[in-house]
Amino acid sequence: MRKVFLLCTLLWSSLTVGGTVEYRYVLSPEVRAVYTDVMTLELDLAEAGISRLKRTEPRNLAAYHLESYVDFFRLYLTGDESLDGLLAERFDRRIEWLERGDESSPYHRYALAEVRLHRSLIDLRFERHLAAFRHLNRAHKELRDNAEAFPDFLPTYKDLGLLHAAVGAIPPQYKWGVELFSSLSGSIAQGREELRRALADVDSPFHLETQVLYAFMELHLADRPDHAYRTAGQLQLDPANNKLHCFVLASLAMRSNRNAEAIRLLERQRRGGTAADFPYLDFLLGQAKLRDLNAQSRVHFQSFLLRYAGRHFREEAIQKIAWSYLLEGDAPGYHRAMAEISGGSRAGGDESAAREAASDRSPHLGLLRARLLFDGGYFDRARTELNAISLNNLTTDEQLEHHYRTGRVLGGLKEYTGALSFYARTIALGRANPAYYACNAALQAGLVEEKRGHPVAAKKYFQTCLDLEPAEYRTGLHMLAKAGLDRLASAS
């Protein structure tokens, strides 16, 4: 025992100078290699590399930062909540290690904040909102302090930009709670500027990650889908061999009316291999094919359901399988599929699927076809579908949907005067309807007026969107309307 004690004392002394443990954050070649493994989703290789780092560079805390990335991807890709308990314990130990770091290093608070941000995203996915809020608040304080202490350390602004933009997009009816119980504050304009500042650090190993995050911010908060897609297209991405890169480009393609390109990207991705499974890519491929009215899209949703352990997206996947049967004229197949929906997720798409299942009434086939074609960017085909529908044969709710979808299609075709007319009808007729049509019509009308350079009219529509309370997609629509109001305020 004396020998063991003496050995421990000598080891501790070897890690100490002047009574302070020499834990550092060093971007050694091995650290950069492991980060590359993480970003190619070679998570087993990355885990082995992290274990090796802990042996060969025991004072380098970068290993624990990388470990946080690995745990985040394992949980996010699989949705496996049974794995979460074990990894939550690793999170607590990781924080303890990182807190021993050198406070004179800009990486000290940065790594702590990133680990908390990873954990907050997992908490949000599993609908633990209070825990997510707590981690976000701590991360924001660490990033804010880091920016004050090391104003020229640009990676800080990658995360600060995301947080400030996200807080800026929070609808007014929720923002008071954020301001009352946390240090979180910011605006979308501030967040975009900070993320652009982080882009200047071209030598950072996190530079490509920053570029991708900037593209998604431009998509979601700046309403610039084409710019977002072009930005990502100029990056050194390898979608055929890197599943994360495939996800990035396919997602941006689908959100910028490039559905055929998304199908091409997703079908060319490398299957198998040693990289972690990414079942959601099959969900995306099924979605893209369904938007081209390909009923065989259901095989991809079925593949997703077989491989994904989580509870999110499942109801939505089943709903889309049911729609594929409707496209083939198989009403019994639709009802058999919808009977499998049981609820259990509060995600927007899942909630919508559960409501449709509870109604026990299938969608109008023509309206469904128009909806799918519009979502795929096939505007002329969607218009043909809508023109073939007789309004006299529709229920009141179906007529409301027809007005809404006609407005969306006309907007897609850049026939803005007609689009605004149908949006106005949708808002007038659908204010009290629990469907999202009126709320989104107001949002879309605001976006049209913003594009046309009519800020007063745009502001009025965005505010109307915030005033409406649909039963589905409310939070997401309100966030986009708030983002619109912030853009208008920044431009004035």
The model's pLDDT over 234-275, given as tens digits with 9 standing for 90+, comes to 999 999 999 999 999 999 999 999 999 999 999 999 888 899
The answer to whether the CB of 445 falls within 8 A of the CB of 422 is no
Q: Grade residue 182 by pLDDT with cuts at 50, 70 and 90.
A: low
Residue with tokens 């990894």: 87
Instruction: Tell me the residue type at 138.
Output: R
Residue 13 has pLDDT above 70, yes or no: no
- pLDDT in the model for residue 187: 82
Residue 438 has pLDDT above 70, yes or no: yes
- pLDDT in the model for residue 246: 97
| pLDDT higher at 308 or 1 | 308
- Portion of the chain with pLDDT greater than 90, in percent: 78
Residue 306 has pLDDT above 60, yes or no: yes
Residue 21 has pLDDT above 60, yes or no: no
The answer to whether the CB of 484 falls within 8 A of the CB of 442 is no
Quick one: average pLDDT of 332-355?
A: 88
- pLDDT in the model for residue 11: 39
The model's pLDDT over 115-168, given as tens digits with 9 standing for 90+, comes to 999 999 999 888 888 888 899 999 999 999 999 999 999 999 999 999 998 887
- pLDDT in the model for residue 174: 59
Q: Grade residue 2 by pLDDT with cuts at 50, 70 and 90.
A: very low
Quick one: average pLDDT of 180-200?
A: 84
| pLDDT higher at 258 or 88 | 258
Quick one: average pLDDT of 34-45?
A: 97
The model's pLDDT over 362-386, given as tens digits with 9 standing for 90+, comes to 999 999 999 999 999 999 999 999 9
- pLDDT in the model for residue 165: 87
- If you average pLDDT over every residue of the chain, what do you get? 91
- pLDDT in the model for residue 177: 56
Residue 405 has pLDDT above 60, yes or no: yes
Quick one: average pLDDT of 172-195?
A: 73
Quick one: average pLDDT of 212-220?
A: 92
User: In angstroms, what CA-CA distances link 25 with 22, 59, 285?
Assistant: 10, 8, 40
Residue 101 has pLDDT above 60, yes or no: yes
Residue 87 has pLDDT above 80, yes or no: yes
Q: Grade residue 198 by pLDDT with cuts at 50, 70 and 90.
A: very high
